[in-house]
Amino acid sequence: MARKTATLYRMETPDHTCPYGLKSRHLLRRKGYRVEDHLLTSRAEVDAFKAEHGVKTTPQTFIGGERIGGYEALETHLGVAKRKSETSYAPVIALFSIAALMALAIVWMMGGPFLDLHTVEIFIATAMVLLGLQKLTNIDAFATMFLNYDLLARRWVPYGRVYPFAEAGAGLLMLAGSLIWIASPVALFIGGIGAVSVIKAVYVDRRQLKCACMGGDSRVPLGFLSLTENLVMVAMAIWMPLRMLGWI
């Protein structure tokens, strides 16, 4: 049986290869198409192609003489387009999964038992560091989203820029088991304010917001997960000094 054929026009110049062109070619081949791959190797060729076909972008795919369009249109045509949701827990699941695996890796390296409270401590401290790092990737966007609900940030705007450093710093100190007399008060302070802020925004004011926990472009809903994150930070802030003093 003859293979289906698709014609693809994509940009590939000495200084730029269109990623969506490569993705279109890969998708077509994955779906069993033989691809006639036409490269537009200069800006002049790209502009001429756009003018000829009356399109504004490349790549462009043609199947059976019919123009399908760009990559997203091709996904829709082939029935593989993903439904875009306003909310997503995927980033949080990924972050905490990596934090758990890192904790297990550290315990493995130390030669200690896996399923004990020390592993949990390492997991929480690692998660704090990763959450702080996530916010620091675009601190301005985080600080702006944070203003939607954090009570202290709404009174003192610079707090939104301090928070990621405080979270990551406290996590690092807890991970090292060092300067707990600094790390615990910091974690208790930011976790406590965070918990109260979430309770007020979600459970008192009944507002539907996105949580800034994963950064400024987060699609994670503000709610139970955000509250749990802050309460765990508070619990860690209380637990660590008590354990270091040998009281528990």
pLDDT in single tens digits along all 248 residues of the chain: 456 999 999 999 998 999 999 999 999 999 999 999 999 999 999 999 999 999 999 999 999 989 999 999 999 999 988 776 667 788 889 999 999 999 999 999 988 787 788 899 999 999 999 999 999 999 999 999 999 999 999 999 999 999 999 999 999 999 999 999 999 999 999 999 999 999 999 999 999 888 888 887 778 888 888 899 899 999 999 998 988 877 76
* Cα angle, residue 166 at apex, residues 112 and 232 outer, rounded to 5°: 55
pLDDT at 161: 95
pLDDT at 1: 47
pLDDT at 237: 94
Domain chopping of the chain, boundaries: 4-77, 90-244
Contacts of 13 (CB under 8 A, 6+ apart): 40, 41, 42, 43, 46
Residue 92, CA distances (Å) to 97, 141, 163, 164, 198 in order = 8, 18, 18, 16, 17
Say which CATH topology domain 4-77 has.
Glutaredoxin (3.40.30)
pLDDT at 36: 95
Q: Which pairing describes strands 4-13 and 33-40: parallel, antiparallel, or unpaired?
A: parallel
Question: Which contiguous run of DSSP H or E holds residue 72?
Answer: helix 71-77
Contact 31, 61 (CB under 8 A): no
pLDDT at 91: 86
Question: Which contiguous run of DSSP H or E holds residue 198?
Answer: helix 180-198
